[in-house]
Amino acid sequence: MIGVGAVYALAGLMFAAFAVFTLRDPTNPKRYRRSAFWALLGLSFLAGDRLGDLGDGLIVVGLAGLAAVGGLGLGKPQTTTPAERVEGAQRWGDRLFWLALIVPAVALAGTLGFKALHVGASPLIDPKQASVIALALGVVVALVVAMLMLRPPLSAPLQEGRRLADLVGWALVLPQMLAALGAVFALAGVGQSVSHLVGAVLPSTSPAAAVIAYTVGMAGFTLVMGNAFAAFPVMTAGVGLPLIVHKFGGDPAIMGALGMLSGFCGTLLTPMAANFNIVPTTLLELPDRWAVIKAQAPTALLMLIVNTALMYALVFRF
């Protein structure tokens, strides 16, 4: 059965290639440090499940140390030339967008169709990871089509990927680390502590108060953590399940979907979500480093209000 391990292996091989190309790039004055960073990240994807907690913890410490001490530097990957890119854009025009549409199309088809694929009595694709595997397959299919269509150098996809990854830098691993931190908090019992605190403050007979505590808590915890995936296990264990589901009989699917969306409202408001809100200002060379957050804030606050109203209207009705 094909599981999420195949996706991790694909990502690990990509970061390993980044490490090799960076090591061979004399234009980056800190290429050894940058190469070690990508090599450690690749190792975590390729063998993290076999290294154990201590091994994975050492990788995290190594990544943090490399990023914190003197920066990682930038190189100049050898890909297609500006003239070649202009010629390709003029030749293909809007048809280039077809390549981008391949990814969601394959992901949707795989999510819906993988569950029907079986080898004997066993599923070919892990049903619990069908969406993730389909998304990875969509990226591979789009890459193959792009290579056949555009005919770039064979190394161009990896070199372009390395260029973008170098620009984003250490923030590239922030979602993964924050999501892991959320799992650590949940195992440490932070959710239970939140439940006790919320239970002591909220009116015991008010479903509306429980919903507000959950949605606003999801956004607020995400503001601190920088990632809704980190906030979700804590707030769901502390407020969502004990109050909305168990005490007031709410629907867990509706609660989880709207709760996660409420967390994303917090993502739009925090510099902790550096890969979303700080890195773009750097890439676009905007004079105001808070420009992205300022532009997103009105929509985020409005969506948080709408999510809260929707949850209260729907979660107890189904």
The whole-number pLDDT of residue 306 equals: 95
**Banded pLDDT at 191 (limits 50, 70, 90):** low
pLDDT of residue 169: 75
Return the closest-CA partner of residue 254 out of 263, 245, 246.
Answer: 245
The alpha-carbon radius of gyration of the chain (Å, integer) is: 22
Q: Which of 51-60, 84-93, 260-269 has the lowest mean pLDDT?
A: 84-93
The pLDDT mean for the chain works out to: 84
**Predicted local confidence at residue 198, as pLDDT:** 67
Residue 141: which of 104, 169, 116, 114 has the closest Cα? 104
Decide if 262 contacts 289 (C-beta within 8 A).
Answer: no
The pLDDT value given to residue 200: 67
pLDDT for 204: 66
Q: What is the mean pLDDT of residues 189-203?
A: 69
Please, are residues 89 and 120 in contact by the beta-carbon 8 Å criterion? no
For residue 311, is pLDDT > 70? yes
State the Cα angle at 144 between 170 and 78, rounded to 5°.
50
Q: How confident is the model at residue 199 (pLDDT cuts 50, 70, 90)?
A: low
pLDDT at residue number 188: 72
Residue 263 contacts residue 232 (beta carbons within 8 Å): yes
Of 256, 182, 186, nearest to 225 by C-alpha is 182
Whole-number Å distance between alpha carbons of 288 and 90 = 34
Instruction: Please give the share of the chain, as a percent, with pLDDT higher than 70.
Output: 94
Percentage of the chain surpassing pLDDT 90?
A: 20
**What number is the average pLDDT over the span 100-121?**
84
Structure confidence by residue, pLDDT tens digits, 29-77: 888 888 988 999 899 888 888 888 788 888 888 888 887 776 677 777 7
Under a CB-based contact definition with an 8 Å cutoff, are residues 244 and 255 in contact?
yes
Nearest in space to 162 (alpha carbons), one of 249, 42, 313: 42
Mean pLDDT of 144-171: 84
Which pLDDT does position 304 carry in this prediction?
Answer: 95
Is residue 70 packed enough to be buried (19+ CB in 10 Å), middle (13-18) or exposed (0-12)?
exposed
SS3 call for 236: helix
Helix (H, G, I), strand (E, B) or coil at 181: helix
250 — phi, psi (to 5°)?
-75, 160
Contact, 114 vs 125, CB < 8 A?
yes
Would you call 288 helix, strand, or coil by DSSP? Answer: coil
Lowest-pLDDT range of 88-102, 191-205, 208-222: 191-205
Kindly state the average pLDDT of the residues 81-109. Answer: 84
- Amino acid identity of residue 144, one-letter, is V
**pTM for the full predicted model:** 0.70
Asked if 64 contacts 37 with a C-beta cutoff of 8 angstroms, the reply is: no
pLDDT at position 290 over 70: yes
